[in-house]
Amino acid sequence: MVEPLSQFIVTDNTEMARKPLAQALGQAVEVVEGHVMIGLAGLTGPIPDAMRYAVSGGKALRAFLVLETARLHGVGADKAGAAAAAIECLHAYSLVHDDLPCMDDDALRRGQPTVHVKWDEATAVLAGDALQSFAFALIGQTGCPVAARLHLSLSLAHAAGVRGMVGGQAADIAAETAAFPLTLDQIVALQAGKTGALISWSAMAGPRMAEAETGPLHVYGDCLGLAFQIWDDVLDVEGDAIAVGKAVGKDAAAGKATFVSLLGLDGAKSRAAELVQEACDALSPYGDDAETLKDAARFVISRTY
C-alpha cells in the first residue's frame, strides 16, 4: 500500500465521482476541443486550421488518462484540463510528422486525409511545430503549484524527446534498413519510447499535479503503453482499414519485425492481455475508484480502431 495516495483520493464529492469509460472519454474530447478553440481563437489561415484538424477526431485516450489520474488525486478537470489538451496537441504533432512522405508516408489518419495530403508538406511541418510549442504553453496554464507545473513540463520534454518518442521513431526508421530484424527486446525498448513514453506521462500527470506518489501509475502507464502498441500490431494484421482509420498490412508488406511477427498473432494477444492485467493490478492502492482506468486498459486490447 502506498500511503501518500490516501490524502488525495476523493470519494464523496459528486463533481469528482468516477464516470463510466465512455462518458470519461467524451469529457476528455470536450476538454481538449475547448482548450484548442480558446487557444487558437481569432487565428485564421492554413496553419491554425491544420492544427485544429490534426487534433480532432481522436480517441483522446491520453487526455483521458491525465483527467482521470488527476481526479484520483482530487484535481478537477478545471485545473487539469490544460495538461490534458497539451498531451493531445503533442501527440497530434507527432502524428502529423510521422505521416509525412519522409517518414511513414501515410495518406489517411483517423479516417481522413493526412495533413500533408489535405494541405501540403510545408503546412504539415509547420502545423506540427506549432502544435508542439502550443502543448508546452498549455502546460504552463495547468492549475497546480509552480513546482508541479515545472515537473510536468520537464517530464513531458523528456518523454517527447530523443530518450522518448522522437528517439523511438528514429529507431523505428533505422530498423527498416537494418541488416537484421529487431529482436523482441529491441522492439520493446523502441516502443517504450515511440508509443509508451507519452502514455506513461499521461498516467503520471495526475499525481504529479498533486505532488503525490507516482509509482503505481508509472507501472500502469508503462504496461498500458506496451499493450497499446502490441494491439496496434494486431490491428495491422487483422484490422479493417475503414475501422482503423488508416492503412493496414503495411508492416507485413515491408517485412518489418513486430510483436506479431515475433510472437505470432495469438502470442501477441496473450502478451497484451498479460500486460493489461499487470496494469490493473498496479491500481490496487486506489481500490474501486480506479475501475474506469481498469476499463480503459481492457478497452485498449478490445478496440477495433
Q: How many CB atoms lie within 10 A of CB 171?
A: 18
What pLDDT score does 253 carry?
65
65 pLDDT higher than 90:
yes
SS3 state at 102: coil
Residues in the chain: 305
Sequence-distant (6+) residues with CB within 8 A of 237 are: 248, 249, 251, 252, 260, 265
| Cα angle for residues 234, 237, 238 (degrees, 5° grid) | 85
Whole-number Å distance between alpha carbons of 76 and 79 = 6
pLDDT in tens, 209-239: 999 999 999 999 999 999 999 999 999 999 8
SS3 state at 80: helix
Whole-number Å distance between alpha carbons of 302 and 261 = 20
Whole-number Å distance between alpha carbons of 133 and 143 = 19
What pLDDT score does 243 carry?
74
Task: Pick 146 or 240 by higher pLDDT.
Answer: 146
1 pLDDT higher than 50:
no
| Candidate CATH numbers 3.30.2270.10, 1.10.600.10, 1.20.1440.230, 1.20.58.1030; the one for domain 3-300 | 1.10.600.10
Sequential DSSP letters for 24-42: HHHHHHHHHHHHHHHHTTT
What pLDDT score does 135 carry?
98
The pLDDT confidence band at residue 7, using thresholds 50, 70 and 90, is very low
Whole-number Å distance between alpha carbons of 111 and 241 = 8
The pLDDT confidence band at residue 186, using thresholds 50, 70 and 90, is very high
8 pLDDT higher than 60:
no
Q: How confident is the model over 42-67, as a mean pLDDT?
A: 97
The pLDDT confidence band at residue 25, using thresholds 50, 70 and 90, is very high
Indicate the average pLDDT of the chain.
92
Residue type, 233: D
Using the structure block, give the residue that is written with the C-alpha cell 496473450.
270
Radius of gyration over every alpha carbon of the chain, rounded to an integer in angstroms: 19
What pLDDT score does 39 carry?
97
99 pLDDT higher than 70:
yes
What pLDDT score does 242 carry?
78
Whole-number Å distance between alpha carbons of 68 and 62 = 10
